[in-house]
Amino acid sequence: MEEKTILVSVEEARELLGGIGRNCLYNLAKDPKFPSFRIGNRIFINRLKLQEWADEMANKSILK
């Protein structure tokens, strides 16, 4: 996976998120707050927005 790419695949996003399950990531992709979108049948995730999303989720769990 080249770090200069803007978009990552589901498999690449799973790796970036610590190896979460494929079904879990597909469920996240259905959430409008998750930085993903479809091109045809493929799901892509914006790498930079994924980092922002993960930071936001971490902050929310710290504040609870």
Q: What are the sequence ranges of the domains in the chain? A: 7-63
* pLDDT higher at 16 or 3: 16
Q: Could you give the CA distance from residue 50 to residue 64 in angstroms, rounded to a whole number?
A: 21
Beta sheet of 42-46, edge-to-edge order: 7-8, 42-46, 36-39
**Contact partners, residue 64, CB within 8 Å, separation at least 6:** none
> In which band, very low, low, confident or very high, does the pLDDT at 60 lie, cut at 50, 70 and 90?
confident
Give the model's pLDDT for residue 47. Answer: 95
The sign one gets for the Cα dihedral 11, 16, 22, 28 is negative
Alpha carbons 1 and 9: distance in angstroms, whole number: 10
Is the pLDDT reported for residue 2 higher than 70?
A: no
State the pLDDT at residue 5: 86
Condensed to tens digits (0 to 9), the pLDDT of residues 7-53 reads 999 999 999 999 999 999 999 999 999 999 999 999 999 999 999 99
